[in-house]
Amino acid sequence: MQQLAGSRFGRYLNPLFVLGVYLFLYLPIVVLVVFSFNDGDFAGGWKGFSLRWYYEMADSHEILGALKASLIVASSATILSLVCGTCAVIATKWLRLGRWLNIFYANVLVPDIVLGIGLLCVFSVMGFPLGYKSLIIGHTVVGLGFVIPIVGARFHQIDPILTEASLDLGATQWQTMRRVVLPLLMPGLMASGLLVFTLSLDDFVISFFCSGTHIETLSVYVFNQVKNMIDPRINALSTCMLLISSACVMCLAYLNVLDQVVHSE
């Protein structure tokens, strides 16, 4: 270690390289955000600070519609996958069939494009109309792949002594679940909820295949809009989405679960 730190590579080159990579990661984003406050379109260069594009964004029915669709889908998928996932975790552990939960790892492993195409085919064969319902189902299935492993791991950590004590002291099973197990699961629920919400809000591939012709989520709207074209309203919108996802990541970091997610890979 001494020698590693002592070599020229170790002392200067490696940190400089890392600095360069972080610049590479953040330069485009910073430029995007800065130009969302530009008073004028891109061709004219910097014209001074203004919130003009934010007002225009708020006036656009298309953008508001896409925002509404994304929020509806993301929140429904989050709630559905949390409820179904938690119930499944509690029930299977109760029945001592916990290993069946392993099949939910498949949801994360299957590439989005395969799942998106598969869902599209099955929906068409079943005669299921594409729209909100199909989008919510697709996102919920992906969400289960995150909720169940995270909540399951959390459930595994619960000390059985606590639940036994609760049962001994006369609580019914239902009361034990509600008053002891659920509060202990809370960090896992929060973390996986945030995770599913952000992933669903940002998802492109599954939304692209499952949204049909009537509904556009934000990512699909941006994709259709920006083919080689710059629209400062999109910058304003992107800045808002960046803020939302950064807030979620900060919450996750605060809840200290990023480490768990990283290590579970």
What residues numbered 24-43 form the site for other proteins, per CB under 8 A? 24-29, 31-32, 35, 42-43
N residues, the chain: 265
Annotate each residue in 204-243 with x if it binds other proteins (CB under 8 A) or - if it does not, as one string.
xx---x--------xx--xx--xxx-x---x---x--xx-
In angstroms, give the least distance from the CB of 122 to other proteins. Answer: 5
Binding to other proteins by residue 88, rule CB under 8 A?
yes
Taking CB under 8 A as the criterion, the residue among 71, 72, 79, 110 binding other proteins is 110
Query: Of 52-60, 141-149, 158-166, 184-192, which segment contacts other proteins by CB under 8 A?
Result: 141-149
151 CB-near residues (< 8 Å, 6+ apart): 85, 86, 89, 185, 188, 189, 192
DSSP code for 38: B
Burial of 262 (0-12, 13-18, 19+ CB in 10 A): exposed
Query: Of 52-60, 134-142, 160-168, 182-190, which segment contacts other proteins by CB under 8 A?
Result: 134-142
> For helices 52-59 and 232-254, what crossing angle results, to 10°?
90
Which residue's CB is nearer to other proteins, number 5 or number 64? 5
DSSP code for 231: -
CA angle 28, 32, 34 (to 5 degrees): 115
In angstroms, give the least distance from the CB of 8 to other proteins. Answer: 9
Binding to other proteins by residue 21, rule CB under 8 A?
yes
Q: How far apart are CA 73 and CA 51, in angstroms?
A: 28
In angstroms, give the least distance from the CB of 105 to other proteins. Answer: 11
What residues numbered 157-186 form the site for other proteins, per CB under 8 A? 173
Taking CB under 8 A as the criterion, the residue among 52, 57, 69, 107 binding other proteins is 107
Q: Contacts with other proteins: how many residues (CB under 8 A)?
A: 91
In angstroms, give the least distance from the CB of 162 to other proteins. Answer: 19
In angstroms, give the least distance from the CB of 58 to other proteins. Answer: 18
Binding to other proteins by residue 51, rule CB under 8 A?
no
Q: How far apart are CA 241 and CA 76, in angstroms?
A: 18
| Angular region, 129: left φ>0, alpha ψ -120 to 50, beta rest | beta
Alpha carbon distances (Å) from 212 to 35, 70, 105: 33, 14, 27
